[in-house]
Structure 1
């Protein structure tokens, strides 16, 4: 393994724009109420999100805010309302130049296209509004395409946006109006483990299609690496390996093409969903050098002391741009792919067999946003094998609420098989802090609950085996250590017994989430 070129030796940022480092998002993983809500209600409505966006910029120093059209309701007049409520701030800190608002669009290959046309019109009219207010930069010029699996879909978004822009210009714009926004920058969000490991090809294909469509290469790319959904679908070790292979492949693409890349990584606070919290920023940077933008999700912002949050975001803003990405050889990538296959098999088999219990708990997870239902006409669902599962946050919250952190599922058996096949060294190469993540997650393990669960469903015995193997391999004992850990253990014990009696356990579920500083 070698390091890539340091920042000063890389291609210059020919985009002539600031690349934001910290992206606040609307992920519903907070246990506590936002500090800025006077009623101390943890649910964040669509109306609240305007104020939330402003607060992310001014209070804690986030440089970008993801406005999420995928799978949830959204305020379509966001820019107009931000300008109306906080014009003085945005006059000095222009959206699209100093701070950024980035739409995550619905994937029209999975959802109906009802809302994407409205998003397009919003982007175009926001430019008109900004210009009329004397602001020269289009507020929104970049969008995220979820579940990107081929380059043609990125080009299709750009083509359809250009058609809408031309139509609006013909019908509504005054003669002589000069437009900036007929070109839409697209961020590919890659969410599958197998897609992540080969996503350099998506970038190369996109460059070729872009050159054919526009007569030039894109000035830069911001590929977006998912961490939560790969973990949900394959487990923590495959998700971590796939993310790091993707990072390596993106900078290899940069060397091959000369096009600067600024990778984004979508992470939550708990290890299973990426492990970025205000209290472990240096550890995250050590595990994922080369990331240029990270998501700062709701639990990060609201479940920790505000001063710690500000300091952590400041540290990320200072540190991430200078980290040196890792380069993996083709042989190392091949070893990583084998490790993904090993760990995925154990994880997926067990999760499918215990899915009914996960879904039973998830029905009591309190909502935090105005989510749309992800089935049928209005979206899509997650699942493994023949079983449907909650989304990643609900999945993680359900297992932690049982006292069975999902980080542990399949990991022990995966380690044992990796050792048998001679892959112990590549495992430590790809996942530097595996032991630390097992310990951190293991503090919330309730072994008594696991024994009870295993007496009802033999599939949980495999998780007991995982725990024994992890403890033996790392020479550690998993379980509570601090007072908070023991209180968490007591709360999730109450959850199990109340569930057996078919009684409401939502109060204990929330108390446990507050202790671990994240819903899921």
Structure 2
């Protein structure tokens, strides 16, 4: 996985100015996929302006590349969304981002002429409990997608009859666990989240840089090792593959 905006000695060739944003981020994502040969780009929707039409722009501008490297199958775009439990000022950015996932699906369906979800996972930073994960999971499944079966008042049309189907029908939510107490409780957080779901696998993002700044490098390494050990035990207990990031 490539994260956006790595440190550079000087402005990278795809940047028009020192602050990388907007159209530069589209080119950065393509560069990550095509030249650095990364499989996945984290698209950061947290704490800054972000282009909600990233799927459409990637497919239209770099058609040849994405004909050969299918977005959602060979290359992956994973959204990092705000956590409304903590980031109140950006709370509704989460809603806007989740509402845009079906639009990206429609664009990919037209481009590939088959059912492919170009975006099907989101990363939730500062995850403190399974409830934070469930709120995102259920908001998307029950409201973003679920509203398609609502019938208009005094009408016989459902929303899906008017606008079309909303897909994918559900998304995966990846917890980004950053605080010491939460990392030590990673097994419980992830286990409680998976308890009522029929998943075959689950990814878990364990922070490294923030714990190092907050608790020191050695403590950060130990926290990650303890969390990894606990998650391995959880995977064996519930028979679900858990893949750490």
Answer whether TM exceeds 0.5 for this pair.
yes
Q: Gaps spanning 5+ residues in structure 1: where?
A: 1-22, 265-520
Following TM superposition, by how much is the alpha carbon of 1:132 offset from its aligned partner in structure 2, in angstroms?
A: 2.0
1:240 counterpart residue number: 221
Q: Does residue 1:87 correspond to 2:63, yes or no?
A: yes
Q: Does residue 1:196 correspond to 2:183, yes or no?
A: yes
CA distance in 1, matches of 2:149, 2:58: 25
After superposition, what is the alpha-carbon deviation per residue over 1:313-358, rounded to whole angstroms, capped at 9, x for unaligned? xxxxxxxxxxxxxxxxxxxxxxxxxxxxxxxxxxxxxxxxxxxxxx
SS at match of 2:49: coil
CA distance in 2, matches of 1:174, 1:62: 39
Report the count of equivalent residues.
234
Higher-Rg structure is: 1
Q: Kindly report which structure 2 residues correspond to 1:243-254, keeping only aligned pairs within 5 A, or say none.
A: 243-254=224-235
1:345 counterpart residue number: none
SS at match of 2:174: strand
CA distance in 2, matches of 1:103, 1:232: 24
SS at match of 1:217: coil
CA distance in 1, matches of 2:213, 2:22: 26
Q: Report if aligned partners of 2:148, 2:166 keep a CA contact under 8 Å in 1.
A: no
SS at match of 1:147: coil
Q: Does residue 1:49 correspond to 2:25, yes or no?
A: yes
Q: Does residue 1:257 correspond to 2:244, yes or no?
A: no
Q: Does residue 1:99 correspond to 2:75, yes or no?
A: yes
Q: Does residue 1:76 correspond to 2:36, yes or no?
A: no
CA distance in 2, matches of 1:205, 1:75: 33
Q: Report if aligned partners of 1:142, 1:185 keep a CA contact under 8 Å in 2.
A: yes
Following TM superposition, by how much is the alpha carbon of 1:130 offset from its aligned partner in structure 2, in angstroms?
A: 1.3
After superposition, what is the alpha-carbon deviation per residue over 1:232-260, rounded to whole angstroms, capped at 9, x for unaligned? 21111111110111111111111111100
Q: Report if aligned partners of 2:86, 2:126 keep a CA contact under 8 Å in 1.
A: no
CA distance in 1, matches of 2:116, 2:137: 19
CA distance in 2, matches of 1:88, 1:27: 25
SS at match of 1:95: coil
Q: Report if aligned partners of 1:94, 1:135 keep a CA contact under 8 Å in 2.
A: no
Q: Report if aligned partners of 2:14, 2:24 keep a CA contact under 8 Å in 1.
A: no
Q: Report if aligned partners of 1:126, 1:140 keep a CA contact under 8 Å in 2.
A: yes
Following TM superposition, by how much is the alpha carbon of 1:116 offset from its aligned partner in structure 2, in angstroms?
A: 1.1
Q: Report if aligned partners of 2:102, 2:167 keep a CA contact under 8 Å in 1.
A: no
Q: CA RMSD in A?
A: 2.0
Label 1:178 to 1:44 Cα distance change in 2 as closer, same or farther (>3 A): closer
Choose between structure 1 and 2 for higher RCO, CA contacts under 8 A separated by at least 6 residues.
Answer: 1
Q: Gaps spanning 5+ residues in structure 2: where?
A: 151-157
SS at match of 1:70: coil
Following TM superposition, by how much is the alpha carbon of 1:152 offset from its aligned partner in structure 2, in angstroms?
A: 1.3
Q: Report if aligned partners of 1:30, 1:42 keep a CA contact under 8 Å in 2.
A: no
Q: Does residue 1:206 correspond to 2:193, yes or no?
A: yes
Q: Report if aligned partners of 2:160, 2:166 keep a CA contact under 8 Å in 1.
A: no
CA distance in 2, matches of 1:27, 1:256: 38
2:205 counterpart residue number: 224
**TM-score calculated relative to the size of structure 2:** 0.88
CA distance in 2, matches of 1:261, 1:52: 29
**TM-score calculated relative to the size of structure 1:** 0.43
